[in-house]
Amino acid sequence: MRDVLKNLIDGMSEAWVKVGKYWRVPCKSAITQARQRLGAKVISDLFHQLVRPMATTETLGAFLNGLRIVVIDGTCFDVPDSEENARVFGRPGSRPGTVAAFPKVRLVILVEAGTHIIFDAIIVSISYGRTSTSV
């Protein structure tokens, strides 16, 4: 995120560069803290307002017989070990008498094949299949 922000600022017009003389790229933790202050709903709403499939009929590999080619993909990952995450996401199964070290979530994404743009995503509990949040 820090590198993306730096590249955005570097690519701005000269008027913005003058303002940028006094502006410094924030550290990674500052970006994370700002995102946390905004909250998940704001980020989710922004994602859904802005992100759309972008391919045209001329985009190589984007359409087949007039239909847009979309790929579904997913992965699972650990989330920080907190009571709130355990309550929301649950913990995966483990050997009898033991508890998994971290709550785990599944991320499922829809990707436009021609452009590789992720245009929808959802995070669900791996333990119970409950929907937890939509990106």
DSSP assignment of 83-99 equals HHHHHHH-----STT--
131-134 β-sheet, strand order? 70-78, 104-112, 118-125, 131-134
Question: What are the tens digits of pLDDT across the range 35-50?
Answer: 889 998 998 899 999 9
14-18, 20-24, 121-125: range with lowest mean pLDDT: 14-18
| CA 68, chain centre distance (Å) | 22
Compute the average pLDDT of residues 60-74: 96
Residue 130 has pLDDT above 50, yes or no: no
